[in-house]
Amino acid sequence: VELTQAFLEAIERLNPRLNAYITVTGEKALADAAASDARRAKGEARALDGIPLGIKDLFCTEGTRTTAGSNILGGFVPPYESTVSANLKRDGAVFLGKLNLDEFAMGSSNQTSAFGAVENPWSRANDPDRRLVPGGSSGGSAAAVAARLAMGATATDTGGSIRQPAAFCGITGIKPTYGRCSRWGIVAFASSLDQAGPVARTVEDNAILLRSMAGHDPKDSTSANLPVPDFRAAVGRGVKGLRIGVPAEYRLDGLAPEIAALWDQGLEWLRAEGAEIVPISLPHAKYALPTYYVVAPAEASSNLARYDGVRFGLRENGSDLKDLYERTRARGFGAEVRRRIMIGTYVLSAGYYDAYYLKAQKVRALIRRDFEEAWGKVDAIVTPATPSAAFAMDEKQDDPVTMYLNDVFTVTANLAGLPGLAVPAGLDGQGLPLGLQVIGRAFDEETVFAVGGAIE
Ligand code: GLN
Active site annotation includes 302: no
Atom of ligand 1 nearest to the CA of 158: 8
Specify which residues 324 forms β-bridges with: none
Residue at 324: amino acid letter: L
Residue at 351: amino acid letter: G
Whole-angstrom distance, CA of residue 139 vs CA of residue 405: 17
Q: How far is the CA of 269 from the centre of ligand 1 (A)?
A: 30
Atom of ligand 1 nearest to the CA of 414: 8
Asked if the structure places residue 189 within a domain, the reply is yes
Active site annotation includes 56: yes
For residue 56, the domain's CATH number is: 3.90.1300.10
Whole-angstrom distance, CA of residue 190 vs CA of residue 178: 12
* pLDDT, average across residues 427-436: 95
* C-alpha 454, offset from chain centre: 22
- Residue 126, pLDDT above cutoff 90: no
pLDDT of 309: 94
Pocket test for ligand 1, best of 292, 405, 407 (most atoms within 8 A of CB): 407
pLDDT tens-place string over residues 236-265 = 999 999 999 999 999 988 889 999 999 999
Q: Binning pLDDT at 50, 70 and 90, where does residue 397 land?
A: confident
pLDDT of 400: 82
Q: How far is the CA of 229 from the centre of ligand 1 (A)?
A: 28
pLDDT of 418: 98
Atom of ligand 1 nearest to the CA of 340: 10
DSSP 389: S
Whole-angstrom distance, CA of residue 39 vs CA of residue 57: 28
pLDDT of 198: 99
Asked if the structure places residue 433 within a domain, the reply is no
Q: How far is the CA of 408 from the centre of ligand 1 (A)?
A: 11
HSE, side-chain direction, 13 A CA sphere, residue 25: 22
pTM as predicted: 0.97
Asked if the structure places residue 356 within a domain, the reply is no
Active site annotation includes 219: no
Q: Tell me which residue of 92, 167, 130 sits closest to 433, measured CA to CA.
A: 167
| SS3 category, 95 | strand
- Residue whose Cα lies nearest atom 4 of ligand 1: it is 107
Candidate list 70, 85, 141, 161, residue with the active-site label: 161
Q: Is the distance from CB of 183 to CB of 159 less than 8 angstroms? A: no
Atom of ligand 1 nearest to the CA of 107: 4
Q: How far is the CA of 165 from the centre of ligand 1 (A)?
A: 11
DSSP string, 130-158: SPBP--SSSHHHHHHHHTTS-SEEEEEES
Alpha helices, H only, 304-358: 321-332, 335-348
Asked if the structure places residue 322 within a domain, the reply is no
Whole-angstrom distance, CA of residue 154 vs CA of residue 152: 7
Q: How far is the CA of 137 from the centre of ligand 1 (A)?
A: 6
Identify the residues whose C-beta falls under 6 Å from ligand 1. Answer: 105-108, 137, 157-161, 189, 296, 407
Asked if the structure places residue 152 within a domain, the reply is yes
Q: How far is the CA of 438 from the centre of ligand 1 (A)?
A: 18
- Residue 280, pLDDT above cutoff 90: yes
ipTM (interface predicted TM)? 0.97
Please give the residue range of the domain that contains residue 97: 2-235
Q: How many structural domains compose the chain? A: 1
Candidate list 56, 89, 175, 396, residue with the active-site label: 56
* pLDDT, average across residues 431-456: 98
* pLDDT, average across residues 292-313: 96
pLDDT tens-place string over residues 404-413 = 888 999 999 9
Mean pLDDT across the chain: 96
Atom of ligand 1 nearest to the CA of 296: 10
| SS3 category, 162 | coil
Atom of ligand 1 nearest to the CA of 161: 8
159 to each of 114, 136, 188, 292, 450, how far by Cα in Å? 21, 10, 13, 8, 23
- Residue whose Cα lies nearest atom 10 of ligand 1: it is 106
DSSP 80: S
DSSP string, 306-321: G-SSSSSS-----SSH
Q: Is the distance from CB of 153 to CB of 206 less than 8 angstroms? A: no
pLDDT tens-place string over residues 23-58 = 999 999 999 999 999 999 999 999 999 999 999 999
Q: How far is the CA of 437 from the centre of ligand 1 (A)?
A: 16
Pocket test for ligand 1, best of 137, 341, 391 (most atoms within 8 A of CB): 137
Q: How far is the CA of 144 from the centre of ligand 1 (A)?
A: 19
- Residue whose Cα lies nearest atom 5 of ligand 1: it is 159
**Ramachandran quadrant class, 428 (left: phi over 0; alpha: psi -120 to 50; beta: rest):** beta
Candidate list 36, 123, 137, 212, residue with the active-site label: 137
Whole-angstrom distance, CA of residue 69 vs CA of residue 194: 16
pLDDT of 74: 85
Q: What is the largest CA-CA distance in the chain?
A: 70
Residue at 240: amino acid letter: K
| SS3 category, 96 | strand
**In which element (H, E) is residue 294 found?**
helix 288-303
pLDDT of 253: 81
Q: Is the distance from CB of 189 to CB of 158 less than 8 angstroms? A: yes
Whole-angstrom distance, CA of residue 408 vs CA of residue 385: 9
Asked if the structure places residue 118 within a domain, the reply is yes
